[in-house]
């Protein structure tokens, strides 16, 4: 009833191929974008923008990156953290060499370096599959981590081996560095993420995206049908790492403001992987849902005892968070292996037939 596409006729090829063919989806997405671009900057507190929305968006982008590789192309990767690091360090080097070029362009360009790293470490995927490949991505993770600390040139020979984000301005407003306000940083990030999510949505439903899914579903069959595994797999690695790289650059430049090698350790790879699993493999919407869930849940768990006046140790809540997330991961895998995105889909089905669930359509 609420979600019926009946009566919405497609009268042109363009309409048939639209990204959002259903009116309700278009309205819904516009509302979300309106809230995201106007509502939140106007109404929300700095804490909500700076510590909830910004990390959420950064992780969503990283989750999109990993989901392209794991969810769409079927190549399990545990090296997301390191690819994010490549983007961050590349952006740092670029902005020290070209301080006058707009930082947003540099952030977008830094993903290219991490795409190159992704292709390099994706080469084994041509021979290795599944769990074996997952372990070889650990080689990328640990080798790159080692590079981040051993190659002092990467952090401009900083005494602490850390990178510190300089202040960069756009139209005289600081958008990076400590003096950039959360709202400004938020607006930059949401623009980048919206743009890149749009690109991803289109790539995924296009020829390249479909070739990835064929490789995922059965690589030998795909090969017999004329998909070149070399091109398909490596392009998946490149695309995925590009997204992760941009996410890493955003994380350092727009969110934390400084980074050392520990900011890109294996736990980050796992964190993003959890987001993809819980959100739903092979779903763009799932990336956002998963990121929201994994990032926001601990904040809630931390806030709840305070709200109800319970005095829990900070460490206790941390342990509880671990346990709850672990249990939820297992729970989701058992009950709904396709993640939150699948729940949303089921919900849509319900809405379509509501209030007559047994009526056939």
Partner 1 sequence: MTNRTFTALAAALVVASCWIPVAQAQDSLYIPSLTYRTGPFSGGGTPFADGYADYLNMLNERDGGINGVKIIVEECETAYNSQKGVECYEATKDKGALAYSPLSTGITLALVPKAPIDKIPVFSMGYGLSAAAAGEKFPWTFVYPASYWSQMSSILKYIDANDGIRGKKIGFIYLDAAYGLEPIPLLDQLSESMGFTVAKFPVGVKEMQNQSSQWLNVRKESPDWMIMWGWGAMNPTAIREAAKIRFPLDRFIGNWWAGSHNDLKGVGEAGKGYLAANFSGLGQEYPALQDVLAHVVDKGLSKVSAREDVGNVLYNRGLFNAVVLAEAVRIAQDRTGKKVISGADMREGLENIDLSEERLSELGLPGFTGELKGSCADHEGGGSIFIQQWNGSDWEKVTDLIAPMSDIVRPMLEEAAEAYVSDKPDWQSQTCS
Partner 2 sequence: MDILHSIFVAPFIDMGAYPDFLLQVIWEGFVAGVLYSLIALGFVLIYKASGVFNFAQGIMVVFAALVLVSLHEMGMPAWVAVLVSVVVMGLLAIGVERFVLRKLVNQHDAILLMATIGLTLVLKGSGQLIFGGEPKPMITRELGLPTGASDWEVFGGVVIFQHIDIAATVVALLMVLALAVFFSKTRIGRALRAVADDHQAALSVGISLHQIWAIVWFAAGIVALVTGIMWGARSEVSFALEIIALKALAVLILGGFTSIPGAIVGGLVIGIGEKLFEVYWGALFGSGVEAWFAYVLALIFLLFRPQGLFGERIIERV
Distance separating alpha carbons of residues 234 and 249, to the nearest angstrom: 22
Q: Does residue 337 belong to the site contacting partner 2 (CB under 8 A)?
A: yes
**310 belongs to the binding site for partner 2 (CB under 8 A):** no
- Size (the chain), residues: 361
Nearer to partner 1, 217 or 262 (CB): 262
Rounded (to 5) percent helix, strand, coil in the chain: 75, 0, 25
> Is the CB of 116 or the CB of 187 nearer to partner 2?
116
The option from partner 2, partner 1, none interacting with 310 (CB < 5 to 8 A, set by class) reads: none
* 3-state DSSP assignment of residue 164: strand
**Rounded Cα gap, residues 291 and 271, in angstroms:** 9
CA 327/CA 140 separation, integer angstroms: 29
Q: How many CB atoms lie within 10 A of CB 98?
A: 13
Alpha carbon distance 355, 315 (integer Å): 46
Q: Which of 6, 127, 308, 310 binds partner 2 (CB under 8 A)?
A: 127
Per CB under 8 A, does 174 bind partner 2?
no
The CB-of-227 to partner 2 minimum distance in angstroms stands at 14
Q: How far is the CB of 319 from partner 2 (least distance, A)?
A: 4
274 binds partner 2 (CB under 8 A): yes
Smallest distance, Å, CB 151 to partner 2? Answer: 8
Say how far apart CA 293 and CA 102 lie, in whole Å: 33
Question: Is residue 35 near partner 2 by the rule CB under 8 A?
Answer: no
Distance, C-alpha 157 to centroid of its chain: 30
Answer for the pair 146, 284: CB distance below 8 angstroms, yes or no: no
Q: Per the structure block, which two tokens stand in for 166?
A: 């300089």
Among 36, 112, 329, 351, binds partner 2 (CB under 8 A): 329
Number of residues lying near partner 2 (CB under 8 A):
45
Q: Which of residues 135-154 bind partner 2 (CB under 8 A)?
A: 135-136, 138-139, 142-143, 145-146, 149-150
| Burial (CB count <10 Å: 0-12, 13-18, 19+), residue 355 | exposed
CB of 277 to partner 2, least distance (A): 5
Stretch that binds partner 2, among 44-52, 133-141, 174-182, 207-215 (CB under 8 A): 133-141
* Nearer to partner 1 (CB atom), residue 129 or residue 302: 302
Please give the Cα distance from 253 to 89 (Å, whole number).
Answer: 10
| Contacted by 135, from partner 2, partner 1, none: CB < 5 to 8 Å by type | partner 2
Residues near partner 2, by CB under 8 A: 70, 76, 124, 127-128, 130-132, 134-136, 138-139, 142-143, 145-146, 149-150, 218, 220-221, 224, 266, 270, 273-274, 277, 315-316, 319-330, 333-334, 337
């Amino acid at each position: 009833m609420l979600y019926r596409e009946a009566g919405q006729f497609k009268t042109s090829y363009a309409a048939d191929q639209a990204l959002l063919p259903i009116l309700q989806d278009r309205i819904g997405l516009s509302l979300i974008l309106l809230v995201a671009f106007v509502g939140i900057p106007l109404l929300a507190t700095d804490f909500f923008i700076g510590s909830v929305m910004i990390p959420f968006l950064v992780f969503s982008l990283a989750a999109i990156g990993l989901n392209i590789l794991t969810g769409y192309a079927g190549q399990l990767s545990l090296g997301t953290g390191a690819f994010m690091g490549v983007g961050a360090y590349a952006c740092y080097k670029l902005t020290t060499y070209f301080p006058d070029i707009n930082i947003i362009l540099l952030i977008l360009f830094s993903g290219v370096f991490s795409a190159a790293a992704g292709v390099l470490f994706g080469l084994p995927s041509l021979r290795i599959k599944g769990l074996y490949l997952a372990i070889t991505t650990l080689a990328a993770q640990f080798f790159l981590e080692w590079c981040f600390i051993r190659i002092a040139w990467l952090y401009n020979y900083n005494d602490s081996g850390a990178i510190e984000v300089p202040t960069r301005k756009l139209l005289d407003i600081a958008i990076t560095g400590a003096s950039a306000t959360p709202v400004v940083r938020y607006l930059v990030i949401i623009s980048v993420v919206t743009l890149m999510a749009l690109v991803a949505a289109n790539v995924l439903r296009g020829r390249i995206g479909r070739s990835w899914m064929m490789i995922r579903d059965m690589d030998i069959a795909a090969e017999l049908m004329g998909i070149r595994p070399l091109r398909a797999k490596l392009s998946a690695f490149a695309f995925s790492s590009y997204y992760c790289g941009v996410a890493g650059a955003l994380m350092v430049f727009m969110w934390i403001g400084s980074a050392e090698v520990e900011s890109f350790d294996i736990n980050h790879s796992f964190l993003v992987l959890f987001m993809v699993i819980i959100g739903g493999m092979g779903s763009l919407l799932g990336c956002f849902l998963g990121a929201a869930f994994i990032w926001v849940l601990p904040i809630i768990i931390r806030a709840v005892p305070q709200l109800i006046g319970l005095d829990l140790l900070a460490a206790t809540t941390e342990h509880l968070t671990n346990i709850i997330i672990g249990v939820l991961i297992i729970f989701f895998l058992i009950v709904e292996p396709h993640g939150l995105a699948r729940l949303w889909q089921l919900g849509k089905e319900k809405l379509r037939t509501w209030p007559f669930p047994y009526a056939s359509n």
